C-alpha cells in the first residue's frame, strides 16, 4: 500500500464510532499468551522522504548481479506491455468473477489462459490456476488418487530427480491424507529416471499415479514415452510436471506414449512463473493444471466456459467450481485451491504477445545459451558435465572445489553462479546446477567463465578453505 491517509485523529474517530477505545480492543478474543508483545527490534516510523532514501540505499546495496540460477524460477525477459496492461485497474483490482454479468473481461481472459494451456499441453481441460507449481503437483496427486478406478492403491511414485521443494510440499500436503509417496532413484551417469528402477518398486500394492517431469530438476530430458506407457501398463495415471517454455520445443504431455486410447499423460501441471512473472524473491507465482476430459470432475479450482446468451451473443461464465465454499464440504475436491488472477493475467498477455513462434524462439535461445555457458565453464580445469544425457536449459556441472564456497565468492563479484545441489543431493556434491535464459549475452557468459576460472585457480593455489581474494 503506497499511501496510508489515516491520522491518529482519524483512527480515534473510527474506534469511537464502533465503541472501542484502542485497536487492541478489537482483538481482545486472542489470549495474551499468544500475542507477540512489544516489537523491540522494529524501529520507530520514519517520514516518507527518509524511508524513501533508506529503501533506495538498500536497493543499491543489493546491486544487480548476473543471474545464472534456475532451479524452478527463471530470469526471463518480460515485455513492457505485460505489466502495463496487467496493472490497469480493470485487472489489477478485479476480484473473483462470481457475477458473470459484471466480469466478462476477467472471465474472457481466464478462458484464454485455459485455452493456451490446453494448447501447450495437448490436453482437454485446464483450470484457472493454483498457487504455484508445487501446490499444483499436490493437487494433481490428490486428484489422481481420487480418480483412478483401476486400483485401490494410495501409493504414488515420484522421481528423486523432481524439484526438492516440490517433493517437500507434496509430502506435506498428501501424506496427512493417507497417501504414500515412494521416491524412484535417478540414473547416476545420465540423471534420468530409468524404467528398471520403477520395476523394482512396484511390489504388491501397485501405484495410483506416476509423476513424470520433463525436463527434470537437473535439466535432463526424460524418456517420457517409455515412462508414460509403463505407468498405464501398471494401471496408474501419468502426471506430467512440465516447464511451459520447454513445451514450445518438446513433445506435449497429451502426446506422450504409444498411439492408442490411453496415449498421453492423464494430468499435466507446473509452474507458470516463466510466463511474464518476475522473480520477486520467490513469489507470488501461479500454478497450472490440465487433464483429460474424463477426469474433469475431479479437477480442483475453477473452470471458465464460453457460451451464448439468449440473443446468441458469446459470453463467459464460471462453469465448474468444485471447492468447499461452493458445494457440500464432503464432496469438495480441494480446500487449498485458488485463482491467481493477476499472475494469470500477466501469463496470458505474455503468451499472446509472444505467440507460438516467439515462444519457440525464447526456448531455443535458452537452450543454446545454456549449451554455450556449459561449454565455456567446462574449459576450466576440473569443471565437467555431471550427466551425459541431453538437457534443456539447465545443466549440472561437477566442480573441483566446495560448491557453497565457490558460489559465495562468485556472489561477492556480482555473479549468481547457480544452485548448490549438495544439500539436496549429497551423492552429487560438489555439483552446481546452472541456467542461462535468453537474457544472458555472450559477454555475460564470458564474464561468468572468467570469474569462475579465477576463483577456482585461487582456491587451488591456496589449498585451503579460506576465501581467496581475486
442 plus 345 within the same structural domain: no
In a domain, 3, yes or no: no
Q: Contact at 8 Å (CB) between 96 and 339?
A: yes
Last residue of a domain, one of 331, 349, 367: 349
208-249: per-residue pLDDT in tens? 999 999 999 999 999 999 999 999 999 999 999 999 999 999
Please state which of the ranges 43-47, 153-157, 456-460 shows the lowest mean pLDDT: 43-47
For 340, half-sphere exposure in the C-beta direction (CA atoms, 13 angstrom radius) is 26
73: domain range? 66-77+356-462
Query: Above 60 in pLDDT, residue 1?
Result: no
In a domain, 2, yes or no: no
Share of the chain above pLDDT 70, in %: 94
Share of the chain above pLDDT 90, in %: 71
Please tell me which residue, 248 or 51, carries the higher pLDDT value: 248
Last residue of a domain, one of 349, 369, 386: 349
CATH number at residue 102: 3.40.640.10
What pTM was computed for the model?
Answer: 0.87
Q: Contact at 8 Å (CB) between 291 and 123?
A: yes
Distance separating alpha carbons of residues 392 and 247, to the nearest angstrom: 11
CATH number at residue 369: 3.90.1150.10
278 plus 420 within the same structural domain: no
359-375: per-residue pLDDT in tens? 999 999 999 999 999 99
140 plus 206 within the same structural domain: yes
Distance separating alpha carbons of residues 275 and 273, to the nearest angstrom: 5
Rounded mean pLDDT of 13-21?
93
C-alpha triplet 410, 411, 416: angle, nearest 5°: 90
23 plus 41 within the same structural domain: yes
DSSP code of residue 220: B
Q: Dihedral sign, CA of 258, 262, 264, 265? A: negative
DSSP code of residue 391: B
Rounded mean pLDDT of 375-391?
97
Q: How confident is the model at residue 66 (pLDDT cuts 50, 70, 90)?
A: very high
Query: Above 90 in pLDDT, residue 89?
Result: no
73 plus 98 within the same structural domain: no
pLDDT of 49: 87
Query: Above 90 in pLDDT, residue 464?
Result: no
In a domain, 1, yes or no: no
172 plus 146 within the same structural domain: yes
233 plus 339 within the same structural domain: yes
23 plus 115 within the same structural domain: no
Number of domains in the chain: 3
Amino acid at each position: 500500500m503506497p499511501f496510508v491517509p489515516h491520522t491518529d485523529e482519524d483512527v480515534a474517530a473510527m474506534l469511537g464510532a464502533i465503541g472501542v477505545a484502542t485497536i487492541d480492543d478489537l482483538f481482545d478474543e486472542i489470549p495474551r499468551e499468544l500475542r507477540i508483545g512489544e516489537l523491540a527490534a522494529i524501529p520507530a516510523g520514519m517520514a516518507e522522504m527518509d524511508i524513501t532514501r533508506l529503501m533506495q540505499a538498500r536497493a543499491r546495496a543489493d546491486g544487480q548481479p548476473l543471474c545464472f540460477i534456475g532451479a524452478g524460477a527463471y530470469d526471463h525477459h518480460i515485455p513492457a506491455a505485460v505489466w502495463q496492461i496487467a496493472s490497469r485497474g480493470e485487472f489489477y483490482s478485479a476480484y473473483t468473477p462470481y457475477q458473470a454479468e459484471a466480469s466478462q473481461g476477467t472471465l474472457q481472459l481466464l478462458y484464454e489462459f485455459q485455452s493456451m494451456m490446453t494448447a501447450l499441453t495437448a490436453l482437454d481441460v485446464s483450470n484457472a490456476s493454483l498457487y504455484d507449481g508445487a501446490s499444483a503437483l499436490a493437487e494433481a496427486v490428490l486428484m489422481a488418487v481420487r480418480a483412478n478406478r483401476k486400483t485401490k492403491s494410495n501409493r504414488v511414485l515420484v522421481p528423486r530427480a523432481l524439484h526438492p521443494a516440490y517433493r517437500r510440499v507434496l509430502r506435506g500436503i498428501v501424506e496427512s491424507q493417507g497417501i504414500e509417496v515412494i521416491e524412484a532413484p535417478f540414473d547416476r551417469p545420465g540423471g534420468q529416471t530409468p524404467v528398471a528402477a520403477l520395476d523394482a518398486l512396484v511390489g504388491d500394492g501397485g501405484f495410483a499415479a506416476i509423476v513424470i517431469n520433463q525436463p527434470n530438476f537437473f535439466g535432463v530430458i526424460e524418456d517420457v514415452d517409455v515412462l508414460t506407457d509403463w505407468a498405464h501398463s501398471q494401471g496408474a495415471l501419468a502426471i506430467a510436471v512440465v516447464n511451459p517454455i520447454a513445451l514450445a520445443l518438446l513433445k506435449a504431455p497429451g502426446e506422450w506414449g504409444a498411439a492408442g486410447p490411453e496415449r498421453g499423460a492423464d494430468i499435466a501441471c507446473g509452474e507458470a512463473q516463466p510466463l511474464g512473472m518476475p522473480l520477486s524473491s520467490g513469489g507470488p507465482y501461479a500454478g497450472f493444471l490440465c487433464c483429460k476430459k474424463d477426469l474433469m470432475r475431479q479437477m480442483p479450482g475453477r473452470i471458465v466456459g464460453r457460451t451464448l446468451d439468449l440473443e446468441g451473443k458469446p459470453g463467459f461464465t464460471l462453469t465448474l467450481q468444485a471447492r468447499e465454499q461452493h458445494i457440500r464440504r464432503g464432496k469438495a475436491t480441494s480446500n487449498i485451491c485458488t485463482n491467481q488472477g493477476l499472475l494469470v493475467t500477466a501469463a496470458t498477455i505474455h503468451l499472446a504477445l509472444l505467440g507460438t513462434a516467439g515462444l519457440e524462439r525464447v526456448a531455443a535461445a535458452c537452450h543454446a545459451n545454456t549449451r554455450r555457458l556449459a561449454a565455456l565453464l567446462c574449459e576450466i580445469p576440473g569443471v565437467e558435465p555431471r550427466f551425459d544425457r541431453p538437457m534443456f536449459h539447465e545443466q549440472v556441472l561437477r566442480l573441483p572445489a566446495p560448491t557453497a564456497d565457490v558460489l559465495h565468492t562468485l556472489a561477492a563479484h556480482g555473479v549468481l553462479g547457480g544452485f548448490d545441489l549438495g544439500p539436496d543431493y549429497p551423492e552429487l556434491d560438489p555439483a552446481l546446477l546452472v541456467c542461462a535464459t535468453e537474457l544472458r549475452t555472450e559477454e555475460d557468459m564470458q564474464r561468468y567463465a572468467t570469474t569462475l576460472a579465477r576463483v577456482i585457480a585461487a582456491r587451488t593455489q591456496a589449498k585451503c578453505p579460506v576465501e581467496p581474494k581475486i
